[in-house]
Structure 1
Amino acid sequence: MAISFHVRSNSFPSRLHPQAAHVDEQLIRLRSSEEASTSSSSSICKRLNNLQELHQSLEKLIRLPATQQALAQDQNKATEQLLDGSLKILDLCNISKDTLSQMKEYLKEIQSILRRKRGNLSGEIKKYLASRRSLKKSFQKVLKSLKVKQDLKCIDESLAVFGEAEAISMNLFDSLFYFMYGSKTCSKWSLVSKLINQKKVSCEAQANEFTKVDFEFQSEKTLKMEDVQVLESCIQDLEDGLESLSKSLIKYRVSILNIIGQ
């Protein structure tokens, strides 16, 4: 279950270790980016980068004697929950990376067919859309498990940052999920053809790289090579950000495991 440390209303006291103050600053920056963030690939990638840097800092923080002492006072319950929560976030990273990689390969094949003007375009589009459905199902399953909270009260306020980091991570993957699948209005592409032209223009105006190509896939005649290329580039950027985050999470988990093994 995900850890449910109480969210702090104030920053760390200045008397705490500088690393703790640095983590606090990063959390403030990430919370601000959540509030100001637009649904664009650049904003998602920036948040992924910030989250990766946060976990690098958390890995350093968790190795401090004061942090380990606070965790030990809870008889490793909080430590085990941190380990469990970080594993689920790592699962989201891996699920996202694997499926995005698969989607990218299908997009490459679609581009090849468009260039050669021959081949089974419909078949490749079906494979691509199937990979998106697979990612959606996996995302929902893991996100649901992350939202299950255990009622555990921390005995040390300094440990709250780890719970906050987990919550921020979950929010980012929520944002990534909705970025990839669009709003409820624009995600039901089977109904688009039934809407009046003005409504279709409004829906397309809200589209991002993913939903725009989804829309074009409904009618192969409107499919544009440049839009597929832009989406492929977007996927590559997301993959890079997820890969960096994944590496930081692995190091973070190793430090948590070292505490349990002491």
Structure 2
Amino acid sequence: MAVSFHGRSNSVPSIQHPQAAHIDEQLTRLRSSEAASSSSSSFIYQRLSNLQDLHDSLVKLLRLSISNQALSQDQIEKLLDGSLRILDLCNVAKDAFSQMKEGLKEIQSILRRKRGDLSAEVKKYLAIRKFMKKSFQKVLKNLKVFQNKDNTDESLVVFREAEAVTIALFESLFSFMSGSKACVKWPLVSKLMSQNKSTCEAEANEFTRVDFEFQSEKSLKMEDVQILESCIQDLEDGIESLSKSLIKYRVSLLNIL
């Protein structure tokens, strides 16, 4: 996909700028990573880092006079709306991370002190997880409805492509945090389906591994809770960095207006 800007005059030819070519390369790498079979917290964190770099590149592109001339007020407003939707996704993720960290903190405190109502705190945490998954489903459903209604003009293709790969990342992130649908209720039927138990354990990530331990009421591994907490912190840091780049991107758009 070649990125080019078209001036408002029909006599102005398409212009390919080195910065636009660089963004093309970044988008290609991000699209390739979407197709990768890997699904780990470190892989998602790397994609978050790449998206931050992409939006930093878009900011540089917007500062070029050619991009200022190519974008109309209506187009800029569309891009502002799109960036706001992505910032909303960032906030949804950060809110989920914050609630889970607080729940895990209380559980670890009880485990260390060996006193307190561990069962009650576990139930609170699982309730947070259940609510979180429903929130993710609702947000993504509403987002897809909007995307289906949105008709993009060709002059915004590079910006819309950036939006698309960013939204795809959040779909992967929310799916990763929610866990496999086939394995979510594994503890409830594990006695009858031992084969499924083995499969789900093999597929479990940091989030679902702790869910399994809580739901099955077996001995909780402090190490797994600490690993999950570290995973959440890394992803939270990645989301925060992306949010800052998105804000810079919005400021650049507003400066053109």
Q: Same fold (TM over 0.5)?
A: yes
Q: Supply the distance in 2 between the matched residues of 1:155 and 1:187 (Cα, whole angstroms).
A: 42
Q: Supply the distance in 2 between the matched residues of 1:191 and 1:219 (Cα, whole angstroms).
A: 8
Select which of 133, 138, 142 maps to 1:136.
Answer: 133
Aligned in 2, Cα 1:47/1:37: closer, same or farther, shift over 3 Å? farther
Q: Are positions 1:36 and 2:36 aligned together?
A: yes
Corresponding position of 1:11:
2
Q: Supply the distance in 2 between the matched residues of 1:50 and 1:207 (Cα, whole angstroms).
A: 25
Corresponding position of 1:56:
56
Q: Are positions 1:115 and 2:108 aligned together?
A: no
Deviates more, 1:79-88 or 1:131-140: 131-140
Corresponding position of 1:154:
153
Corresponding position of 1:200:
197
The unaligned stretches of length 5 or more in structure 2 are: 5-13
The alignment-based identity, stated in percent, is 70
Query: What are the Cα deviations for residues 3-59 of structure 1, in whole angstroms up to 9, with x where unaligned?
Result: xxxxxxx33479511111111111011111111151111111000110111111111
The unaligned stretches of length 5 or more in structure 1 are: 1-9
Query: What are the Cα deviations for residues 100-155 of structure 1, in whole angstroms up to 9, with x where unaligned?
Result: 02211211211121122221112211222222233323323332332213443425
Q: Supply the distance in 2 between the matched residues of 1:207 and 1:155 (Cα, whole angstroms).
A: 42
Corresponding position of 2:76:
79
- Give the count of matched residue pairs: 246
Aligned 8 A contact 1:37 1:43 in 2: no
Deviates more, 1:164-173 or 1:36-45: 36-45
Aligned 8 A contact 2:206 2:227 in 1: yes
Corresponding position of 1:70:
70
The Cα RMSD (Å) is 1.9
Aligned in 2, Cα 1:188/1:78: closer, same or farther, shift over 3 Å? farther
Corresponding position of 1:4:
none
Q: Supply the distance in 2 between the matched residues of 1:60 and 1:69 (Cα, whole angstroms).
A: 15
Matched ranges for 1:88-107 at <5 A:
88-107=85-104
Q: Supply the distance in 1 between the matched residues of 2:255 and 2:142 (Cα, whole angstroms).
A: 25
Q: Are positions 1:183 and 2:195 aligned together?
A: no
Q: Which secondary structure state, in structure 2, belongs to the residue aligned with residue 223 of structure 1?
A: coil
Q: Supply the distance in 2 between the matched residues of 1:81 and 1:144 (Cα, whole angstroms).
A: 20
Matched ranges for 1:165-184 at <5 A:
165-184=162-181
Aligned 8 A contact 1:97 1:242 in 2: yes
Q: Supply the distance in 2 between the matched residues of 1:66 and 1:143 (Cα, whole angstroms).
A: 34
Aligned in 2, Cα 1:37/1:259: closer, same or farther, shift over 3 Å? farther
Corresponding position of 1:7:
none
Q: Which secondary structure state, in structure 2, belongs to the residue aligned with residue 82 of structure 1?
A: helix
Q: Supply the distance in 1 between the matched residues of 2:133 and 2:221 (Cα, whole angstroms).
A: 24
Q: Which secondary structure state, in structure 1, belongs to the residue aligned with residue 183 of structure 2?
A: helix
Q: Supply the distance in 1 between the matched residues of 2:218 and 2:95 (Cα, whole angstroms).
A: 29
Aligned in 2, Cα 1:155/1:96: closer, same or farther, shift over 3 Å? closer
Corresponding position of 1:163:
160
